[in-house]
Amino acid sequence: MNLLLSENVPLRTTQDLGDFAEKTPLPQRFGDLTQTPFKLIRLSAAKFLAADHPMEITGAFINKAATLDYNIYTESDEDGHTWQVVEFGTPIPETDEASAVGRGRRNPKTGALIENPADIMEFVLKLCGRSETFGRLRAEAAGAGVVLAGSITEIKSIRVTLDDVAYSAGAIWTPLDARLYPVIDPLPPFTVLTKMNTENVVADLDITDTADILHLSYAYSDALNKPLKFIELTASPQLYGGLVQEIILPWISSPRVAEAVGRRWLHRLAGDRRTVTLSSGETSLRPGSWTELRAHPEWGIPGTDPKIMVLAVDLNADSSSVQITGEAVLSTPLVKLTAHSVALPPVLGSGVTLKVGAGIATFTLEDDQQPPQPIKGARATLDGGPAVTSNAAGEVAFPVVVSNPPKAHVLRFVAPGKAPIQMEVLL
Amino acid sequence: MKLVVYLKPSPITFTRPIDGGKYPLLDSVTTLRVAARAGQQSGLGVGESPSINVVLNNIDKRAATLLGNPLRLRAELYNTDNSLFWAGFISHLSNSSGASTLTIES
Protein backbone atom coordinates (compact mmCIF):
# COMPACT_ATOMS: atom_id res chain seq x y z
CA MET A 1 0.00 0.00 0.00
CA ASN A 2 1.91 3.06 -1.26
CA LEU A 3 -0.43 5.92 -0.41
CA LEU A 4 0.35 9.41 -1.68
CA LEU A 5 0.28 12.35 0.71
CA SER A 6 -2.76 13.63 -1.15
CA GLU A 7 -4.68 10.43 -0.39
CA ASN A 8 -6.68 9.71 2.73
CA VAL A 9 -5.44 8.17 5.94
CA PRO A 10 -6.95 4.65 5.87
CA LEU A 11 -8.81 4.75 9.15
CA ARG A 12 -10.98 1.71 9.73
CA THR A 13 -14.69 2.34 10.13
CA THR A 14 -17.60 0.83 12.01
CA GLN A 15 -18.30 -1.18 8.87
CA ASP A 16 -15.11 -3.08 9.59
CA LEU A 17 -16.71 -4.14 12.86
CA GLY A 18 -19.84 -5.34 11.11
CA ASP A 19 -21.98 -2.25 11.67
CA PHE A 20 -23.21 -1.28 8.24
CA ALA A 21 -25.92 1.09 9.43
CA GLU A 22 -23.58 4.03 9.80
CA LYS A 23 -20.04 4.39 8.52
CA THR A 24 -18.10 6.11 11.28
CA PRO A 25 -14.29 6.26 11.28
CA LEU A 26 -12.68 4.46 14.19
CA PRO A 27 -10.45 6.97 15.98
CA GLN A 28 -6.76 6.84 16.71
CA ARG A 29 -5.95 8.64 19.97
CA PHE A 30 -2.64 9.97 21.21
CA GLY A 31 -1.22 11.53 24.34
CA ASP A 32 -2.78 12.54 27.64
CA LEU A 33 -6.51 13.00 27.03
CA THR A 34 -7.48 12.88 30.69
CA GLN A 35 -8.67 16.51 30.64
CA THR A 36 -10.30 16.61 27.21
CA PRO A 37 -13.33 14.32 26.88
CA PHE A 38 -13.73 12.47 23.61
CA LYS A 39 -16.83 10.95 22.07
CA LEU A 40 -17.46 7.24 22.35
CA ILE A 41 -18.79 5.43 19.30
CA ARG A 42 -21.90 3.38 19.88
CA LEU A 43 -21.56 -0.33 19.09
CA SER A 44 -24.74 -1.45 20.88
CA ALA A 45 -27.11 -0.13 23.54
CA ALA A 46 -24.52 -0.33 26.29
CA LYS A 47 -21.27 -1.02 24.42
CA PHE A 48 -19.15 1.81 22.98
CA LEU A 49 -15.80 2.03 21.23
CA ALA A 50 -13.15 4.42 22.58
CA ALA A 51 -10.38 3.89 20.02
CA ASP A 52 -9.26 1.48 17.33
CA HIS A 53 -6.44 0.33 19.61
CA PRO A 54 -5.95 -0.45 23.29
CA MET A 55 -5.87 2.61 25.52
CA GLU A 56 -6.22 3.59 29.16
CA ILE A 57 -9.66 4.88 30.13
CA THR A 58 -9.68 7.06 33.27
CA GLY A 59 -13.29 8.24 33.27
CA ALA A 60 -16.59 7.95 31.45
CA PHE A 61 -19.56 10.29 31.09
CA ILE A 62 -23.18 10.11 30.02
CA ASN A 63 -24.43 13.46 28.78
CA LYS A 64 -21.37 15.08 30.36
CA ALA A 65 -22.14 13.64 33.81
CA ALA A 66 -19.51 11.34 35.27
CA THR A 67 -20.47 7.74 35.92
CA LEU A 68 -18.69 4.83 37.56
CA ASP A 69 -21.08 2.26 36.13
CA TYR A 70 -18.90 0.99 33.31
CA ASN A 71 -16.37 -1.70 32.42
CA ILE A 72 -13.46 -1.43 30.04
CA TYR A 73 -11.93 -4.18 27.95
CA THR A 74 -10.43 -4.78 24.53
CA GLU A 75 -11.80 -6.82 21.65
CA SER A 76 -9.89 -8.30 18.72
CA ASP A 77 -10.58 -9.85 15.36
CA GLU A 78 -8.86 -12.55 13.36
CA ASP A 79 -6.90 -9.96 11.35
CA GLY A 80 -5.02 -8.83 14.44
CA HIS A 81 -6.96 -5.61 15.05
CA THR A 82 -7.63 -4.76 18.68
CA TRP A 83 -9.92 -1.96 19.88
CA GLN A 84 -10.87 -0.44 23.20
CA VAL A 85 -14.40 -0.93 24.46
CA VAL A 86 -16.30 0.91 27.22
CA GLU A 87 -19.42 -0.98 28.29
CA PHE A 88 -21.93 0.75 30.57
CA GLY A 89 -23.92 -1.11 33.22
CA THR A 90 -27.25 -0.10 31.72
CA PRO A 91 -28.36 0.60 28.15
CA ILE A 92 -27.79 4.18 27.05
CA PRO A 93 -30.72 5.74 25.15
CA GLU A 94 -29.98 6.66 21.53
CA THR A 95 -30.52 10.33 22.36
CA ASP A 96 -27.82 10.32 25.05
CA GLU A 97 -24.15 10.92 24.35
CA ALA A 98 -21.35 8.92 25.91
CA SER A 99 -17.83 10.24 26.27
CA ALA A 100 -14.65 9.33 28.10
CA VAL A 101 -11.21 10.54 29.09
CA GLY A 102 -7.94 8.62 29.14
CA ARG A 103 -4.54 8.16 27.59
CA GLY A 104 -3.89 7.19 23.99
CA ARG A 105 -1.61 4.90 22.06
CA ARG A 106 1.61 3.68 23.58
CA ASN A 107 4.88 2.77 21.95
CA PRO A 108 4.72 -1.04 21.67
CA LYS A 109 8.40 -1.37 22.58
CA THR A 110 8.82 1.13 25.42
CA GLY A 111 5.24 1.42 26.69
CA ALA A 112 5.58 5.20 26.69
CA LEU A 113 2.72 7.38 25.47
CA ILE A 114 3.10 8.41 21.84
CA GLU A 115 3.02 12.17 22.33
CA ASN A 116 6.11 13.59 20.66
CA PRO A 117 4.85 15.27 17.44
CA ALA A 118 7.45 13.42 15.35
CA ASP A 119 6.31 10.09 16.78
CA ILE A 120 2.65 10.89 16.02
CA MET A 121 3.47 11.97 12.47
CA GLU A 122 5.60 8.89 11.86
CA PHE A 123 2.82 6.71 13.22
CA VAL A 124 0.33 8.24 10.79
CA LEU A 125 2.71 7.68 7.90
CA LYS A 126 3.31 4.09 8.97
CA LEU A 127 -0.45 3.56 9.10
CA CYS A 128 -0.42 4.67 5.45
CA GLY A 129 2.31 2.22 4.45
CA ARG A 130 5.01 4.89 4.37
CA SER A 131 8.33 5.07 6.16
CA GLU A 132 9.39 8.72 6.54
CA THR A 133 11.17 9.59 9.78
CA PHE A 134 11.53 12.96 11.49
CA GLY A 135 14.52 12.60 13.78
CA ARG A 136 15.34 16.29 13.99
CA LEU A 137 11.80 17.22 15.00
CA ARG A 138 11.75 14.43 17.59
CA ALA A 139 14.94 15.74 19.18
CA GLU A 140 13.87 19.39 19.04
CA ALA A 141 10.41 18.67 20.44
CA ALA A 142 11.88 16.56 23.24
CA GLY A 143 14.33 19.33 24.07
CA ALA A 144 11.59 21.94 24.13
CA GLY A 145 9.17 19.73 26.05
CA VAL A 146 6.58 19.83 23.26
CA VAL A 147 4.11 17.00 23.81
CA LEU A 148 0.75 16.71 22.10
CA ALA A 149 -2.58 15.03 22.80
CA GLY A 150 -5.37 14.55 20.31
CA SER A 151 -7.41 12.24 18.18
CA ILE A 152 -7.64 11.42 14.51
CA THR A 153 -11.38 11.04 14.06
CA GLU A 154 -11.97 12.13 10.48
CA ILE A 155 -10.85 10.61 7.23
CA LYS A 156 -8.69 13.33 5.74
CA SER A 157 -5.68 13.34 3.44
CA ILE A 158 -2.37 12.29 4.89
CA ARG A 159 -0.86 15.73 4.38
CA VAL A 160 -3.77 17.53 6.06
CA THR A 161 -3.64 15.10 8.98
CA LEU A 162 0.09 15.73 9.37
CA ASP A 163 -0.48 19.48 8.96
CA ASP A 164 -2.85 19.43 11.94
CA VAL A 165 -0.25 17.77 14.15
CA ALA A 166 2.66 19.92 12.94
CA TYR A 167 0.65 23.12 13.31
CA SER A 168 -0.14 22.43 16.95
CA ALA A 169 3.52 21.66 17.62
CA GLY A 170 4.71 24.84 15.93
CA ALA A 171 6.54 22.81 13.32
CA ILE A 172 7.05 22.73 9.57
CA TRP A 173 7.49 19.59 7.54
CA THR A 174 8.17 18.07 4.15
CA PRO A 175 8.45 14.35 3.40
CA LEU A 176 12.20 14.81 3.82
CA ASP A 177 12.39 16.58 7.17
CA ALA A 178 10.48 18.33 9.93
CA ARG A 179 11.63 21.04 12.32
CA LEU A 180 10.26 23.22 15.06
CA TYR A 181 9.58 26.55 13.38
CA PRO A 182 9.23 29.35 14.17
CA VAL A 183 11.86 29.38 16.91
CA ILE A 184 13.05 32.37 18.89
CA ASP A 185 16.78 31.66 18.96
CA PRO A 186 17.85 29.23 16.23
CA LEU A 187 20.78 27.04 17.15
CA PRO A 188 23.68 25.97 14.90
CA PRO A 189 24.51 24.42 12.53
CA PHE A 190 23.88 27.08 9.89
CA THR A 191 24.83 26.71 6.25
CA VAL A 192 26.84 29.84 5.52
CA LEU A 193 25.79 31.74 2.42
CA THR A 194 28.24 34.33 1.06
CA LYS A 195 28.74 36.22 -2.18
CA MET A 196 30.84 33.26 -3.32
CA ASN A 197 27.91 30.83 -3.37
CA THR A 198 24.79 33.01 -3.33
CA GLU A 199 23.30 35.74 -5.48
CA ASN A 200 20.05 37.53 -6.36
CA VAL A 201 19.22 38.20 -2.71
CA VAL A 202 15.93 40.04 -2.15
CA ALA A 203 14.16 40.61 1.19
CA ASP A 204 10.42 41.36 1.15
CA LEU A 205 8.28 42.74 3.94
CA ASP A 206 4.61 41.76 3.69
CA ILE A 207 1.46 42.34 5.69
CA THR A 208 0.49 38.67 5.54
CA ASP A 209 0.60 36.94 8.90
CA THR A 210 1.28 39.96 11.07
CA ALA A 211 -0.25 40.51 14.51
CA ASP A 212 0.63 41.93 17.92
CA ILE A 213 -1.74 39.88 20.06
CA LEU A 214 -2.29 36.16 19.85
CA HIS A 215 -5.43 34.47 21.11
CA LEU A 216 -4.60 30.79 21.31
CA SER A 217 -7.28 28.23 22.09
CA TYR A 218 -6.23 24.69 22.91
CA ALA A 219 -7.24 21.48 24.71
CA TYR A 220 -9.84 20.59 22.09
CA SER A 221 -12.54 18.21 23.26
CA ASP A 222 -14.18 16.28 20.44
CA ALA A 223 -17.00 15.35 22.83
CA LEU A 224 -17.80 19.01 23.48
CA ASN A 225 -16.71 20.07 20.00
CA LYS A 226 -14.72 23.04 21.28
CA PRO A 227 -11.37 23.96 22.78
CA LEU A 228 -11.52 24.06 26.57
CA LYS A 229 -8.65 26.42 27.31
CA PHE A 230 -7.35 29.74 26.07
CA ILE A 231 -4.40 32.08 26.50
CA GLU A 232 -3.71 35.58 25.30
CA LEU A 233 -0.16 36.65 24.54
CA THR A 234 0.70 40.29 23.85
CA ALA A 235 3.77 41.67 22.09
CA SER A 236 5.60 44.85 23.02
CA PRO A 237 6.36 47.00 21.10
CA GLN A 238 3.35 46.60 18.82
CA LEU A 239 4.40 47.09 15.20
CA TYR A 240 1.00 46.31 13.69
CA GLY A 241 -1.51 48.51 15.48
CA GLY A 242 -2.57 45.96 18.08
CA LEU A 243 -3.87 43.50 15.50
CA VAL A 244 -5.19 40.28 17.05
CA GLN A 245 -4.81 36.84 15.50
CA GLU A 246 -6.95 33.94 16.70
CA ILE A 247 -5.62 30.42 16.38
CA ILE A 248 -6.75 27.03 17.63
CA LEU A 249 -4.09 24.42 18.33
CA PRO A 250 -6.26 21.39 18.99
CA TRP A 251 -3.44 18.94 19.70
CA ILE A 252 -2.11 20.90 22.68
CA SER A 253 -3.48 20.03 26.10
CA SER A 254 -0.88 21.49 28.46
CA PRO A 255 -0.83 25.19 29.45
CA ARG A 256 2.96 25.11 29.48
CA VAL A 257 3.15 23.81 25.91
CA ALA A 258 0.43 26.25 24.76
CA GLU A 259 2.38 29.20 26.13
CA ALA A 260 5.70 28.00 24.70
CA VAL A 261 4.28 27.37 21.20
CA GLY A 262 2.24 30.59 21.36
CA ARG A 263 5.31 32.62 22.22
CA ARG A 264 7.13 31.18 19.20
CA TRP A 265 4.19 31.95 16.90
CA LEU A 266 3.87 35.51 18.21
CA HIS A 267 7.57 36.21 17.83
CA ARG A 268 7.11 35.40 14.15
CA LEU A 269 3.83 37.31 13.75
CA ALA A 270 4.85 40.40 15.71
CA GLY A 271 8.53 40.52 14.78
CA ASP A 272 10.26 42.29 11.90
CA ARG A 273 10.00 39.37 9.50
CA ARG A 274 11.36 39.31 5.96
CA THR A 275 10.71 36.81 3.20
CA VAL A 276 14.06 36.22 1.55
CA THR A 277 14.57 34.84 -1.95
CA LEU A 278 17.97 33.97 -3.33
CA SER A 279 19.88 31.66 -5.66
CA SER A 280 22.52 29.47 -4.09
CA GLY A 281 25.12 26.97 -5.20
CA GLU A 282 24.44 25.07 -1.99
CA THR A 283 22.29 22.59 -3.87
CA SER A 284 21.81 20.32 -0.88
CA LEU A 285 19.71 22.93 0.94
CA ARG A 286 16.16 21.80 1.59
CA PRO A 287 13.19 23.17 3.56
CA GLY A 288 13.99 22.97 7.25
CA SER A 289 17.65 24.05 6.82
CA TRP A 290 18.96 27.01 8.78
CA THR A 291 21.28 29.30 6.88
CA GLU A 292 23.25 32.43 7.70
CA LEU A 293 23.73 35.07 5.03
CA ARG A 294 27.19 36.34 5.95
CA ALA A 295 28.46 39.81 4.93
CA HIS A 296 26.62 39.59 1.64
CA PRO A 297 26.78 42.78 -0.45
CA GLU A 298 23.27 42.23 -1.83
CA TRP A 299 21.66 42.22 1.64
CA GLY A 300 19.94 45.60 1.71
CA ILE A 301 18.99 45.93 5.37
CA PRO A 302 21.21 47.39 8.09
CA GLY A 303 22.01 45.28 11.13
CA THR A 304 23.48 41.89 11.84
CA ASP A 305 23.73 39.10 9.30
CA PRO A 306 20.35 37.38 9.02
CA LYS A 307 19.58 33.79 9.98
CA ILE A 308 17.25 32.40 7.33
CA MET A 309 15.03 29.33 7.64
CA VAL A 310 14.64 27.69 4.23
CA LEU A 311 10.94 27.18 3.51
CA ALA A 312 10.89 26.29 -0.18
CA VAL A 313 13.44 25.16 -2.75
CA ASP A 314 13.10 25.01 -6.52
CA LEU A 315 15.35 22.27 -7.82
CA ASN A 316 16.42 21.82 -11.39
CA ALA A 317 18.33 18.67 -12.10
CA ASP A 318 20.45 20.34 -14.74
CA SER A 319 21.32 23.42 -12.73
CA SER A 320 24.26 24.03 -10.43
CA SER A 321 22.16 26.26 -8.17
CA VAL A 322 18.84 26.16 -6.33
CA GLN A 323 16.23 28.88 -5.91
CA ILE A 324 15.40 29.38 -2.26
CA THR A 325 12.58 31.08 -0.42
CA GLY A 326 13.06 31.53 3.30
CA GLU A 327 12.24 33.65 6.30
CA ALA A 328 14.39 35.83 8.52
CA VAL A 329 13.00 37.37 11.70
CA LEU A 330 15.29 40.36 12.20
CA SER A 331 13.97 41.55 15.54
CA THR A 332 11.47 40.13 17.98
CA PRO A 333 9.27 41.86 20.53
CA LEU A 334 8.89 41.16 24.21
CA VAL A 335 5.96 38.76 24.65
CA LYS A 336 3.85 38.62 27.81
CA LEU A 337 1.10 36.28 28.93
CA THR A 338 -1.81 38.68 29.47
CA ALA A 339 -4.83 36.41 30.00
CA HIS A 340 -5.97 32.84 30.13
CA SER A 341 -9.20 31.06 30.74
CA VAL A 342 -10.34 27.57 31.46
CA ALA A 343 -13.65 25.94 30.73
CA LEU A 344 -13.98 23.58 33.64
CA PRO A 345 -14.60 19.88 33.14
CA PRO A 346 -18.25 19.11 32.45
CA VAL A 347 -18.73 16.84 35.46
CA LEU A 348 -20.44 19.14 37.92
CA GLY A 349 -24.02 19.28 36.69
CA SER A 350 -23.82 23.04 36.67
CA GLY A 351 -21.65 24.62 33.99
CA VAL A 352 -18.92 26.98 35.13
CA THR A 353 -16.66 28.82 32.75
CA LEU A 354 -13.79 31.04 33.69
CA LYS A 355 -12.03 33.97 32.11
CA VAL A 356 -8.96 35.65 33.52
CA GLY A 357 -7.66 39.02 32.44
CA ALA A 358 -6.14 42.13 34.01
CA GLY A 359 -5.77 40.33 37.33
CA ILE A 360 -9.48 39.46 37.62
CA ALA A 361 -10.92 35.93 37.44
CA THR A 362 -14.54 36.01 36.28
CA PHE A 363 -16.61 32.85 36.71
CA THR A 364 -19.88 32.43 34.85
CA LEU A 365 -22.27 30.05 36.56
CA GLU A 366 -24.89 28.31 34.42
CA ASP A 367 -27.49 25.66 35.22
CA ASP A 368 -27.92 22.38 33.34
CA GLN A 369 -31.02 23.33 31.38
CA GLN A 370 -30.94 23.30 27.57
CA PRO A 371 -29.99 25.96 26.70
CA PRO A 372 -28.11 26.74 29.93
CA GLN A 373 -29.39 29.69 31.97
CA PRO A 374 -27.17 31.94 34.13
CA ILE A 375 -27.46 31.32 37.88
CA LYS A 376 -28.27 34.61 39.56
CA GLY A 377 -27.82 35.16 43.30
CA ALA A 378 -25.34 32.34 43.96
CA ARG A 379 -22.93 32.99 46.85
CA ALA A 380 -19.34 32.20 45.80
CA THR A 381 -15.95 32.26 47.55
CA LEU A 382 -12.44 31.71 46.23
CA ASP A 383 -9.92 30.11 48.60
CA GLY A 384 -12.24 30.85 51.54
CA GLY A 385 -12.14 34.61 50.96
CA PRO A 386 -15.05 37.06 51.11
CA ALA A 387 -18.29 35.81 49.50
CA VAL A 388 -19.47 37.40 46.26
CA THR A 389 -23.00 37.15 44.84
CA SER A 390 -23.46 36.32 41.16
CA ASN A 391 -25.13 38.97 39.00
CA ALA A 392 -27.91 38.57 36.43
CA ALA A 393 -25.41 37.17 33.93
CA GLY A 394 -24.36 34.52 36.46
CA GLU A 395 -20.96 36.17 36.92
CA VAL A 396 -18.77 36.47 40.00
CA ALA A 397 -15.33 38.07 39.92
CA PHE A 398 -12.29 37.78 42.17
CA PRO A 399 -8.86 39.44 42.02
CA VAL A 400 -6.18 36.84 41.27
CA VAL A 401 -2.52 36.54 40.38
CA VAL A 402 -2.19 34.66 37.09
CA SER A 403 0.59 32.13 36.95
CA ASN A 404 1.76 29.66 34.34
CA PRO A 405 1.67 26.77 34.93
CA PRO A 406 -1.57 27.53 36.74
CA LYS A 407 -1.88 27.06 40.51
CA ALA A 408 -4.81 25.34 42.20
CA HIS A 409 -7.50 27.45 43.89
CA VAL A 410 -10.76 26.37 45.51
CA LEU A 411 -14.05 27.83 44.29
CA ARG A 412 -17.15 27.21 46.42
CA PHE A 413 -20.62 28.38 45.53
CA VAL A 414 -24.14 27.87 46.70
CA ALA A 415 -26.92 28.46 44.21
CA PRO A 416 -30.42 29.20 45.55
CA GLY A 417 -32.24 25.94 46.15
CA LYS A 418 -29.24 23.75 45.27
CA ALA A 419 -26.58 21.84 47.14
CA PRO A 420 -23.24 23.63 47.68
CA ILE A 421 -20.60 22.90 45.02
CA GLN A 422 -16.86 22.98 45.51
CA MET A 423 -14.29 22.65 42.75
CA GLU A 424 -10.60 23.05 42.19
CA VAL A 425 -9.71 25.76 39.72
CA LEU A 426 -6.36 26.23 38.04
CA LEU A 427 -5.36 29.88 37.67
CA MET B 1 21.13 11.59 -13.96
CA LYS B 2 19.16 8.36 -13.81
CA LEU B 3 15.66 7.21 -12.96
CA VAL B 4 15.04 3.96 -11.12
CA VAL B 5 11.50 2.59 -11.35
CA TYR B 6 10.73 -0.26 -9.00
CA LEU B 7 8.89 -2.41 -11.50
CA LYS B 8 8.07 -5.96 -10.52
CA PRO B 9 9.78 -8.37 -10.37
CA SER B 10 12.89 -6.20 -10.63
CA PRO B 11 13.60 -2.47 -10.91
CA ILE B 12 14.85 -0.94 -14.12
CA THR B 13 17.08 2.09 -14.57
CA PHE B 14 16.56 4.73 -17.23
CA THR B 15 19.59 6.82 -18.13
CA ARG B 16 20.31 9.71 -20.48
CA PRO B 17 21.50 8.68 -23.95
CA ILE B 18 24.85 10.34 -23.31
CA ASP B 19 25.39 8.15 -20.26
CA GLY B 20 24.75 4.83 -22.02
CA GLY B 21 23.13 2.02 -20.06
CA LYS B 22 20.55 -0.60 -20.93
CA TYR B 23 17.64 1.85 -21.16
CA PRO B 24 19.01 5.24 -22.31
CA LEU B 25 15.55 6.78 -22.66
CA LEU B 26 15.67 9.58 -20.07
CA ASP B 27 15.00 12.82 -21.88
CA SER B 28 14.25 15.61 -19.38
CA VAL B 29 13.16 16.42 -15.85
CA THR B 30 11.03 19.39 -14.81
CA THR B 31 11.85 21.75 -11.98
CA LEU B 32 10.84 20.42 -8.59
CA ARG B 33 9.51 22.72 -5.88
CA VAL B 34 9.76 21.37 -2.35
CA ALA B 35 7.98 23.60 0.14
CA ALA B 36 7.58 23.23 3.86
CA ARG B 37 4.05 22.79 5.15
CA ALA B 38 2.87 24.37 8.37
CA GLY B 39 -0.79 23.68 8.79
CA GLN B 40 -3.04 26.71 8.70
CA GLN B 41 -0.40 29.39 9.06
CA SER B 42 -1.05 31.14 5.77
CA GLY B 43 2.33 32.76 5.25
CA LEU B 44 4.07 29.43 5.50
CA GLY B 45 3.69 26.93 2.74
CA VAL B 46 0.38 25.21 2.42
CA GLY B 47 0.01 23.74 -1.03
CA GLU B 48 0.21 20.70 -3.14
CA SER B 49 2.49 17.80 -2.44
CA PRO B 50 5.81 18.08 -4.23
CA SER B 51 5.86 16.29 -7.56
CA ILE B 52 8.12 16.13 -10.56
CA ASN B 53 7.60 15.17 -14.19
CA VAL B 54 10.14 12.94 -15.92
CA VAL B 55 10.02 12.63 -19.71
CA LEU B 56 11.20 9.38 -21.32
CA ASN B 57 11.74 8.82 -25.01
CA ASN B 58 8.91 6.56 -26.20
CA ILE B 59 10.09 5.89 -29.72
CA ASP B 60 8.81 2.52 -30.93
CA LYS B 61 6.63 2.50 -27.76
CA ARG B 62 9.64 1.21 -25.90
CA ALA B 63 9.17 3.19 -22.66
CA ALA B 64 5.44 2.43 -22.61
CA THR B 65 6.17 -1.26 -23.09
CA LEU B 66 8.72 -1.32 -20.30
CA LEU B 67 6.58 0.66 -17.86
CA GLY B 68 3.21 -0.99 -18.47
CA ASN B 69 1.00 0.24 -15.63
CA PRO B 70 3.44 1.57 -13.02
CA LEU B 71 0.95 3.45 -10.80
CA ARG B 72 1.92 3.54 -7.09
CA LEU B 73 5.32 2.04 -7.80
CA ARG B 74 8.28 3.74 -6.16
CA ALA B 75 10.57 5.77 -8.39
CA GLU B 76 13.89 7.40 -7.51
CA LEU B 77 15.73 10.06 -9.42
CA TYR B 78 19.50 10.30 -8.91
CA ASN B 79 21.97 13.05 -9.72
CA THR B 80 25.00 12.31 -11.86
CA ASP B 81 27.05 11.90 -8.66
CA ASN B 82 24.59 9.17 -7.62
CA SER B 83 23.11 11.27 -4.80
CA LEU B 84 19.33 11.00 -4.49
CA PHE B 85 17.58 13.94 -6.18
CA TRP B 86 13.97 12.95 -5.48
CA ALA B 87 11.93 9.88 -4.59
CA GLY B 88 8.24 9.23 -4.58
CA PHE B 89 5.49 7.19 -6.13
CA ILE B 90 4.27 7.24 -9.71
CA SER B 91 0.88 8.95 -9.74
CA HIS B 92 0.42 9.64 -13.47
CA LEU B 93 1.70 8.37 -16.81
CA SER B 94 1.07 10.08 -20.11
CA ASN B 95 2.05 8.20 -23.26
CA SER B 96 2.31 9.66 -26.73
CA SER B 97 4.06 8.35 -29.80
CA GLY B 98 7.18 10.31 -28.90
CA ALA B 99 7.26 10.53 -25.13
CA SER B 100 6.18 8.89 -21.90
CA THR B 101 5.84 11.42 -19.10
CA LEU B 102 5.84 10.11 -15.55
CA THR B 103 4.62 12.16 -12.59
CA ILE B 104 6.40 11.21 -9.39
CA GLU B 105 4.61 12.44 -6.30
CA SER B 106 5.46 12.16 -2.63
Q: Is B41 helix (H, G, I), strand (E, B) or coil?
A: coil
B26 touches chain A (CB under 8 A): no
Q: In what order do the strands lie in the sheet with A65-67?
A: A32-39, A98-103, A56-62, A65-67
B84 touches chain A (CB under 8 A): no
CB contact under 8 A, A172 and B44: yes
CB contact under 8 A, B37 and A317: no
How, if at all, do strands A334-343 and A351-357 pair? antiparallel
A162 touches chain B (CB under 8 A): yes
CB contact under 8 A, B29 and A317: yes
CB contact under 8 A, B85 and A181: no
Eight-class DSSP state of B19: G
pLDDT at A348: 37
Decide if pLDDT at A347 tops 80: no
Q: pLDDT for A307-333, tens place per residue?
A: 999 999 999 887 889 999 999 999 999
A7 touches chain B (CB under 8 A): no
Rounded to a whole number, what is the distance in angstroms from the first to the last CA of chain A?
Answer: 48
Tell me, yes or no, if the pTM score tops 0.90: no
CB contact under 8 A, B49 and A181: no
Q: Report the distance separating Cα A418 and Cα A106, nearest Å.
A: 43
Q: Looking at this predicted complex, what is its ipTM? A: 0.82
Q: Report the distance separating Cα A216 and Cα A213, nearest Å.
A: 10
Which residue in B2, B15, B18, B34 has the most chain A C-beta atoms within 10 A of its own C-beta, making it the best mutation to test that interface? B34
CB contact under 8 A, B40 and A167: yes
Decide if pLDDT at A404 tops 90: no
Q: Give which of A203, A214, A236 is closest to A308, Cα–Cα.
A: A203
Distance from CA of A168 to the nearest CA of B (A): 8
Q: Is A126 helix (H, G, I), strand (E, B) or coil?
A: helix
pLDDT-derived band at A275, boundaries 50, 70, 90: very high
Q: Of the ranges A82-91, A341-350, A417-426, B15-24, which one carries the lowest mean pLDDT score?
A: A341-350
pLDDT at B50: 83
Query: Partners of B4 in the beta sheet?
Result: B13, B76
* Section A142-151 average pLDDT: 97
B29 touches chain A (CB under 8 A): yes
pLDDT-derived band at B54, boundaries 50, 70, 90: very high
Nearest Cα residue in chain A from B91: A4
Q: pLDDT for A48-105, tens place per residue?
A: 999 999 999 999 999 988 999 999 999 999 999 999 999 999 999 999 999 999 999 9
Query: Partners of B5 in the beta sheet?
Result: B12, B75
Cβ atoms of A376 and A390 closer than 8 Å: yes
Q: Report the distance separating Cα B20 and Cα B16, nearest Å.
A: 7
Cβ atoms of B106 and A175 closer than 8 Å: yes
